[in-house]
Amino acid sequence: MNLSDRLIVLNPGAPRYPADEIRDACESVCRERELNCHFLEAPSGPGARESMRRAIADAIAGGCERVVAVGGDGTIGMVADAIARAGPRAADVTLGIIPAGTANILAGELGLQGGLADAAETALTSDRFLAIDAVEASGRLVFTQVGVGPDALMIRDTSRDKQAKLGRVAYMIAFARRALGHRPRRFTLTLDGSPVRALAWQVVAANVGTVGAPPFTWGPRIDPTDGVLDLCVYDVRSFAGTLALTWRILTGRHRRGAFTRFFRVREEVVIDSPRPQLAQGDGEILGRTPITLRVVHEAIRIVVARTVEKPDLAPVLTRGAGVAGSSLAMAGAAAEPSVAEDVETMIAAHHAPTWVLQGVLRHPVAALEALDAALFLRVNRMSLGRAPDRVLTFASRWMHYGEGWMIVLLAMMAVDLRAGLRVAVEVLPALWMTLLTVNLPLKRFFRRRRPFLAFVKARVLGPRPNDFSLPSGHAAAGFAGAFLLSLHAPAFAPLFYAIAAIVGLSRVYLGVHYPSDVVIGAAAGTILAATYRWILLAVMPIAG
């Protein structure tokens, strides 16, 4: 072999593409680029890993500097392990990936999830790569995560036939069956020499964050390039706990709590338990506890579609956690970044840098939060002048609990006392019940921190609220009142909604709410006001 040769290791049983289509796609790219491609069928059976190591070592000794793995995480992990152990020349070899398996977790983390033609083009020809870490476990290198718990039982119970027929659904069914009946186990976790005792339903040593598919992650800021292994310990003991954990994984709102703990391991972790528990890595069974995991820094270079760079976040504007708590320093720049650039920078600041490769649509929750923060910063940096600032501060104060709508009701009473009283009796109970619902249970459910707590340099005009941020009570009061009053004075509906909109926008300008707080508050206020009005109208005749 020579430098222009490509060794393509193909798993013929990979379910995503037929083997002949994979061969045709690779040969087409190599013909166009005048490359020589050599195919090797991935070995299987008890001696597969050793056979792979010998074949890869021979190819590298012959001058090959690009090996392409075609298959799932198991095949990719086996090829990557063989490259990393190939001796002194292994550091000159890059690994290309054509994801053709069921889950393709590592490819998903690296943004290598396009069609077959695009994947072949990138894997065979791209000159850009990312050096990622690995985890040494049971005599092999693991590149995604090691799991002890229901995920290991899922891997054991999902046959190749089921994977081929059902794809990821096969894993989901097996996991659901095992997870529902699985009980927490006692573990001793020795983290860089320090023992920690834990009761855990699932233990995950994550090198990459992706759970099956982006944007769902095991924990916060898991990065395969940071030289650290993230240990995630989940203790779920009830159905409610399972729902809460699922919500956090789906939304990326990871935090320590009653059933989640996160540790960072720099060298080694030993996972032990009184009764041996099954462990899996890269979708293959590794054995049973006790199991020792060692961090291997920059174990292999993997080909990617474009350059990955960690953003320059100095000077830091924020002190909070979460995507909405970070931002590129935008003040003082010669050319202010666009909102889209701010969003990408914020995502990169709180996710593995590999996640930037996947684009906004591949992690929508993080992208929406970053967009929310970017828009907040833009509005918050505006300055309308002293007089408008006073007007907006005054308007905001008069809509705290809907007090401003009392002026409208008093005006109605002045015109027609009986009609005005009838409107007040119908409007005020629904309005106040709406505000109680928004300001108590809803805010406590979402528990979102105020933006001025996340952004050190956020400007705040007027008082700083002590409660939570989502949803906005002022926006809820404004739009609930506008909806209720418009039913009785439709000619003034545009004015009522204009007032509500000004109050909502003022909350962002004054530095106390994110834009999404206002939007969700407006929607919640309208829906709740309509609901409570309907209930009260249904009950009032009975009560009277």
Task: Give the pLDDT confidence of 490-506 residue by residue, as tens digits.
Answer: 999 999 999 999 999 99
Can you tell me whether residue 254 is helix, strand or coil? coil
Average pLDDT over residues 83-107: 87
Q: Give the range among 26-40, 298-312, 351-365 with minimum mean pLDDT.
A: 351-365
pLDDT the model gives residue 458: 78
With vertex at residue 98, the alpha carbon angle to CA 93 and CA 101, rounded to the nearest 5 degrees, is 125
Torsions phi, psi for 171 (to 5 deg): -65, -40
pLDDT the model gives residue 337: 65
Quick check: 139 pLDDT over 80? yes
From-to residues of CATH 1.10.606.20 in the chain: 386-543
pLDDT the model gives residue 210: 78
Q: Decide which of 275 and 371 is more confident.
A: 275
**Could you tell me which of 224, 61, 31 has the C-alpha nearest to residue 124?**
31
pLDDT the model gives residue 537: 87
Average pLDDT over residues 72-101: 90
Kindly calculate the radius of gyration of the chain based on its CA atoms and give it in whole angstroms. Answer: 29
Is CATH 1.10.510.10 correct for 145-298? no
Question: Which H helix or E strand runs over 203?
Answer: strand 202-206
Band (pLDDT 50/70/90 cuts) for residue 327 is very low
pLDDT the model gives residue 95: 95
The residues near 246 (Cβ < 8 Å, ≥ 6 apart) are none
Band (pLDDT 50/70/90 cuts) for residue 368 is confident
Per residue in 388-428, pLDDT (tens digit) is 898 899 888 888 878 889 999 999 999 999 999 999 999 99
pLDDT the model gives residue 519: 96
Q: What CATH number matches the domain at 386-543, 3.40.605.10, 1.10.606.20, 1.20.1250.20, 1.20.140.10?
A: 1.10.606.20
Q: Give the range among 118-127, 261-270, 373-382, 455-464 with minimum mean pLDDT.
A: 455-464
With vertex at residue 154, the alpha carbon angle to CA 78 and CA 11, rounded to the nearest 5 degrees, is 30
Band (pLDDT 50/70/90 cuts) for residue 538 is confident
Quick check: 211 pLDDT over 90? no
Average pLDDT over residues 478-489: 95
Distance in angstroms (rounded) separating the CA atoms of residues 441 and 439: 7
Band (pLDDT 50/70/90 cuts) for residue 471 is very high
Band (pLDDT 50/70/90 cuts) for residue 26 is very high
Average pLDDT over residues 234-249: 74
From-to residues of CATH 3.40.50.10330 in the chain: 5-127
**Could you tell me which of 195, 194, 198 has the C-alpha nearest to residue 186?**
198
Average pLDDT over residues 133-150: 92
Cβ contact 223:352 at 8 Å: yes
CATH topology of domain 5-127: Rossmann fold (3.40.50)
Band (pLDDT 50/70/90 cuts) for residue 215 is low
The CB density around residue 172, as the number of other CB atoms within 10 Å, is 14
For 271, the token pair is: 């996972």
Can you tell me whether residue 522 is helix, strand or coil? helix
Quick check: 320 pLDDT over 60? no
Q: What is the mean pLDDT of the chain?
A: 83
Q: Kindly list the distances between the CA atom of residue 33 and the CA atoms of 3, 72, 96, 297, 377, in Å, as whole numbers in the listed order.
A: 13, 26, 16, 33, 47
pLDDT the model gives residue 317: 39
| pTM of the predicted model as reported, rounded to 2 decimal places | 0.59
Band (pLDDT 50/70/90 cuts) for residue 306 is low
Can you tell me whether residue 42 is helix, strand or coil? coil
pLDDT the model gives residue 331: 35
Distance in angstroms (rounded) separating the CA atoms of residues 425 and 414: 15
From-to residues of CATH 2.60.200.40 in the chain: 145-298
Cis check: omega of the bond before 215, within 30 degrees of 0: yes
Cβ contact 294:219 at 8 Å: no
Average pLDDT over residues 443-464: 82
Average pLDDT over residues 45-64: 90
pLDDT the model gives residue 541: 58
pLDDT the model gives residue 41: 92
Quick check: 544 pLDDT over 80? no
pLDDT the model gives residue 487: 94
pLDDT the model gives residue 313: 37
Using CA atoms in the order 233, 267, 206, 147, what is the torsion angle rounded to 10 degrees? Answer: -60
